[in-house]
Structure 1
Amino acid sequence: MLGSVSDAEDAAQDLFADLYAADSRNIKNPKAYLAKWTMNRCLNVLRSSRRKRELYVGEWLPEPFSESSGLPELEAEQNDSLSYAYQVMLEKLTPTERAVFLLREAFEYDYEEIADILGKSATNCRKIFSRAKAGMQDVSAAADTPLIRSPIVEKFVEAFQHYDVERLLELLAQDATMILDGGGRVNSAIHPILGRKRVIALLTSPKALIKPRSVWSHSLTLVNSETNIVFSEDGVARGVLCIELTPERDRIRNLYMVLNPDKLHGVQ
């Protein structure tokens, strides 16, 4: 819902504090109570941060997240998370559309339950879901498996490091797009780079992306449950490059690069 690891953690912490103080005997339906409390909390955060995002320097991308603890329960949680491309698409929905869409699509609530949670009619929720669904048709909710993604990601890293234009031509789709998020903290392109030719020009420029290419080390890491690229320096994440494949899974369609250090706290 929030696209921010820290905001999500704050919401969960506030929920636990609220439950601790509440009289559980007055909570007749715990599941509905939790869903309504959490969704309303998220909607309040999104509405209050709208102005902040409008004034954000450059493109705003959601925070990437990785978990490498090896604990089974955390691994299961990670596998249930949404792909990064899916998170990006969610950001294009209004807060209410996002709430209805996730409650229906991800958690399979019926429209009457969603209506009760959001204080709207079931008919209205149906219309909102239909509109949100149409806006999400461009990306699949199913996460690509590492076995499918890894070879392409590995080939991309090698081509990027060696300024290999021919290999990049083979890997990138014709309508490839690259979005960088520096947030004014790190130098990056303010507007999306549209088209394979322009994306390759940026990736092979000797003056651009110098640190990711030659200064920072890189590793293929599960970020948002998919194999993506984490750039680091002295063990600290400095950037994350998330890759979205075409529906045929044979080329790279979109590249999302997060360089804003404020958004890398959830990456290990």
Structure 2
Amino acid sequence: MTEKTEIESLYRTYRTYGLSIAYRMLGTFTDAEDIIQDLFAELAVKNRADVQNMKAYIAKSVTNRCLNLLHSAKKKREEYIGEWLPEPVAGTAELPELAAEQKDTLSYAYLLMLERLGPVERAVFLLREVFEYDYEQIADMTRKTEANCRKIFSRAKQQLKGSEIPSTPIAQGQRKAMVERFANAFLHYNPETLLSLLTEDAVLISDGGGAARAAIRPIVSRERLLRLFTSPNAYRDLRTWSVHVAEINGEINLVYTSEAEVKSVLCFQFSESGDQVQHLYMIKNPQKLKHIQTYLG
């Protein structure tokens, strides 16, 4: 096997695994792709005979690159205009490492939950909870002691307490029907249907990043959302765009397009009972829609 053929084989084998870690660590697919490209460029000139476990090496390298990027991006996050939301991905086609029972760890609500953790806590939590590494391996990957990793994981679990994703997943058919009902009620200014679909404490969070018109702060309560969703002056752009039901982050959500250009993605998180919408996440920042555009375009 030639050098080039070997690297191509490693890339085909481990690219999606590395992406699975990097995307959850960063919440941005474009940055995750850059990290994977850099990793394999370095691997091409590395003495690979020293690598005893390639999968663990990939996980360690991706984790450390992500930690470095998260630390350097902290100021950018603080200066970000409005609310910062993760970059959505279309379906799970790019991340087939996921087994069906792990699909919820790609959901938009799960990514938002991870935002409550610091970089190292996020790394330890993901490596243990999602990728099922033991503490000895995690210690090596994060350059921490095994005892420290156990404490970090415990602290992360405590921080996430109360923000867990509903334990009973909604069937895709039921979710699709509810998302379509919302889209139709919003389009036709139907307050009765919207009232039945939204929880009393429903929240809308929008991300325009200063590049698209979006609310700077979260909009809280069913009453306020009803006024907005039924106002002819609010969200007029969404009503002029075509709306599509699509699998985003492994779940049925909405994509808005204009002349084949993706303009917005609207992701839903349902209540524990599964019959009402608890959170809505509207992504309008064009920089965060590039992957959706490429995949759907």
Name 2:199's counterpart in structure 1. Answer: 173
Specify which structure has the higher proportion of helix: 2
Q: In structure 2, do the counterparts of structure 1 residues 131 and 141 end up closer, same or farther at CA, with 3 Å as the change threshold?
A: farther
Q: CA deviation at 1:12?
A: 0.8
RMSD value, Cα: 1.8
Count of residue correspondences:
263
Alignment-mate amino acid for residue 2 of structure 1: L
The residue correspondences of 1:59-208 to structure 2 (distance < 5 A) are 59-67=83-91, 74=94, 76-77=96-97, 80=103, 82-137=106-161, 138-140=163-165, 144-208=170-234
Q: Which amino acid aligns with 1:94?
A: G
2-structure distance, mates of 1:28, 1:77: 21
Q: TM-score, normalised by structure 1?
A: 0.93
C-alpha contact 1:62 1:88 (8 A) present in aligned 2: yes
- Aligned AA for 2:130? A
The 1-side partners of 2:230 and 2:40 are apart by 49
SS of alignment partner, residue 211 of structure 2: coil
Instruction: Give the whole-Å Cα distance in 2 for the aligned partners of 1:82 and 1:218.
Output: 23
TM-score (norm 2): 0.84
Q: Distance in 2 between matches of 1:148 and 1:134?
A: 32
Among candidates 219, 242, 247, match of residue 222 of structure 1: 247
Partners of 1:262 and 1:231 in 2: CA distance:
15
CA contact (8 A) 2:91 2:251 kept: no
5 Å matches for 1:189-268?
A: 189-213=215-239, 215-267=240-292, 268=296
Correspondence for 2:32 among 2, 5, 8:
8
Does the CA contact (< 8 Å) of 2:91 and 2:250 recur in 1? no
3-state secondary structure, aligned to 1:188:
coil
1:34 aligns with 2:87: no
Q: Distance in 1 between matches of 2:270 and 2:166?
A: 13
Report percent identity of matched pairs: 48
Q: Secondary structure at the match of 2:81?
A: coil
Cα deviation for residue 75 of structure 1 reads: 7.7
**1:164 shift after superposition:** 1.2
For residues 32 and 166 of structure 2, the distance between their equivalents in structure 1, rounded to whole angstroms, comes to 20
Q: Structure 1, residues 145-167: CA drift from partner, whole Å, max 9, x if none?
A: 42231111011111111111111
- Which runs of 5 or more structure 1 residues have no equivalent in the other structure? none
2:263 counterpart letter in structure 1: R
Unmatched 5+ stretches in structure 2: 1-24
Output the amino acid matched with 1:66. Answer: A
Q: Which has the higher contact order (CA 8 A, sep 6+)?
A: 1
